Structure formats: C-alpha cells, structure tokens
Amino acid sequence: MKHFTDWDRVVPIDHGYDESKPECELTLEDVRKAAALRGGVLLSEHMERGDWNTKLTFRCAFGHTFEASPRLVLEGGHWCPACEKKSWNYGERAKRDPFFAQVWTPLHGEGELREYPKLVSEEEV
C-alpha cells in the first residue's frame, strides 16, 4: 500500500449550499439542497431564516426519518443516525449519497462495497 503524503493539498468538496452566504441568511431552500446532495429529503416545511440550531426533519436515502439541526448536518458532518448505528456501509452509501461519494469514489473502485460492522455503537458508550 502506498502511503498518502500530500497533506498540504486542499481538495474542495460541494456541501450542497452556498457557503459564502452569511450565517444569518441560511434558508430552508439551502438546507433542502444540502439534504438532496446527501441523497435525502428535507421533510420540514418551515425554518426561521438564519436558524442553524433548531432541529429539522429529514429522510435519508435508505428511508430513515430523523431530526437534526442545520449546524449538525452542514458543519458537523453528521447525517442519518440509523445508518451509522450498526455499521459503516460506505460503498452502498456512496451509490446514493453524492456528498459522500465525493470523498469515497476517488479512492475506491466502483464495485468496492465495503461495510465495516460496529462492535459497539455510540448509543452503547
């Protein structure tokens, strides 16, 4: 295995919304676009402009419904807790989640459907 050495190279990724906007201008449409890039859907129909902290309701590409704040999703990098509960199913996730595919696909073959079972979930710690 060849070890990675290019630590100074920045590879920008699309987060699904205009990150150059001031925080106070975040809209429901921004969050909707970010959810779509993650292969999901924003189910909430209302959000106060610029509110990064109030939980909204989402559905992931695998059909799980969950609540999370825009800050947790957009800045924290979290997504569906049900999908992360028992394993990291990266290959299948990359097929349905264009956001995740940005980092998975360049490093893995198209048919590489690696799944890493969790021995202990976050809920058990």
Give the chain's domain count.
1
The domain containing residue 47 runs over which residues? 23-124
For 38-84, how does the pLDDT look when each residue is reduced to its tens digit (9 = 90+)?
Answer: 999 999 999 999 999 999 999 999 999 999 999 999 999 899 999 88
Asked whether residue 8 is domain-assigned, the answer is no
Residues 6+ apart with CB under 8 A from 106: none
Asked whether residue 92 is domain-assigned, the answer is yes
Residues 6+ apart with CB under 8 A from 100: 38, 39, 90, 93, 94
Asked whether residue 51 is domain-assigned, the answer is yes
Q: What is the pLDDT of residue 121?
A: 64
Asked whether residue 9 is domain-assigned, the answer is no
Asked whether residue 68 is domain-assigned, the answer is yes
Asked whether residue 6 is domain-assigned, the answer is no
Q: What is the pLDDT of residue 3?
A: 85
In the chain, % of residues over pLDDT 90 = 62
Asked whether residue 74 is domain-assigned, the answer is yes
pTM for the whole thing? Answer: 0.85
pLDDT at 123 over 90: no
> Quick one: pLDDT band at residue 124, thresholds 50, 70, 90?
low
Q: Is 12 exposed, middle or buried (0-12, 13-18, 19+ CB in 10 A)?
A: exposed
Asked whether residue 5 is domain-assigned, the answer is no
What number of CA atoms fall less than 13 Å from residue 8's CA on the CB side? 0
Mean pLDDT to the nearest integer, 97-106 = 91
For 4-26, how does the pLDDT look when each residue is reduced to its tens digit (9 = 90+)?
Answer: 788 898 888 999 999 999 999 99
Mean pLDDT to the nearest integer, 92-116 = 87
Pairwise CA distance, residues 19 & 23, whole Å: 9
Q: What is the pLDDT of residue 47?
A: 97
